[in-house]
Amino acid sequence: MSGKLYIIPIPISETDPKKVLSEYTINTANRLRFFVVEKIKTSRQFLRKIDKSFPIDESVFYELNKHNQYAFEDEVIQKLLQGNDVGLMSESGYPGIADPGSGVVKKAHQKNINVVSLIGPSSIFLALATSGLNGQGFVFNGYLPKTESERIKKIKSLNQQVKQNDFAQIFIETPYRNQAMFNDLIKHSFDETLLTIAEDITGKQEWIKTKPIKEWRKQKKLLPKIPCVFILGC
Amino acid sequence: MSGKLYIIPIPISETDPKKVLSEYTINTANRLRFFVVEKIKTSRQFLRKIDKSFPIDESVFYELNKHNQYAFEDEVIQKLLQGNDVGLMSESGYPGIADPGSGVVKKAHQKNINVVSLIGPSSIFLALATSGLNGQGFVFNGYLPKTESERIKKIKSLNQQVKQNDFAQIFIETPYRNQAMFNDLIKHSFDETLLTIAEDITGKQEWIKTKPIKEWRKQKKLLPKIPCVFILGC
A181 and A102 in a common domain: no
- What average pLDDT does this structure show over A109-117? 97
Of B83, B117, B151, the last residue of a domain is B117
A49 pLDDT more than 90: yes
- What average pLDDT does this structure show over A176-199? 97
CA angle A151, A157, A162 (to 5 degrees): 125
Question: For residue A222, which of A179, A185, A189, A184 has the smallest C-alpha distance?
Answer: A179
pLDDT at A68: 65
B180 and B152 in a common domain: yes
CATH of the domain at A191: 3.30.950.10
Q: Which residue of B has its CA nearest to A171?
A: B137
CA angle B199, B204, B207 (to 5 degrees): 30
Q: Among A70, A126, A139, A205, which would you mutate to test the B interface (most chain B Cβ atoms within 10 Å of its Cβ)?
A: A126
Count A/B contacts: CB-CB distance under 8 Å: 163
B132 and B94 in a common domain: no
Characterize the bridge pairing of strands A138-143 and A168-172: parallel
pLDDT at B66: 65
pTM here is 0.96
**A100 confidence band (pLDDT: 50, 70, 90):** confident
A77 pLDDT more than 70: yes
Query: What would the pLDDT profile of A134-170 be if each residue is shown by its tens digit?
Result: 999 999 999 999 999 999 999 999 999 999 999 999 9
pLDDT at A66: 64
Q: Which residue of B has its CA nearest to A17?
A: B22
B113 and B152 in a common domain: no
Determine the straight-line distance between the first and last CA of chain B, rounded to whole angstroms: 50
pLDDT at B220: 79
Q: How large a percentage of chain A has pLDDT more than 70?
A: 98
Q: How large a percentage of chain A has pLDDT more than 90?
A: 92
pLDDT at B71: 72
Instruction: Check A134 against B21: CB less than 8 A apart.
Output: no
Of A82, A117, A152, the last residue of a domain is A117
B143 and B89 in a common domain: no
B59 SS3 class: coil
Range of the domain at A197: 123-233
pLDDT at A211: 97
- What average pLDDT does this structure show over A200-217? 96
Q: Give me the sheet containing B5-7, strands edge to edge.
A: B60-63, B34-37, B86-89, B5-7, B115-117
Q: Which residue of B has its CA nearest to A234?
A: B106
Q: What is the mean pLDDT of each run of 10 residues along chain B (234 residues)?
A: 97 94 97 96 96 96 76 90 97 92 95 97 97 97 96 98 97 95 97 97 96 94 94 98
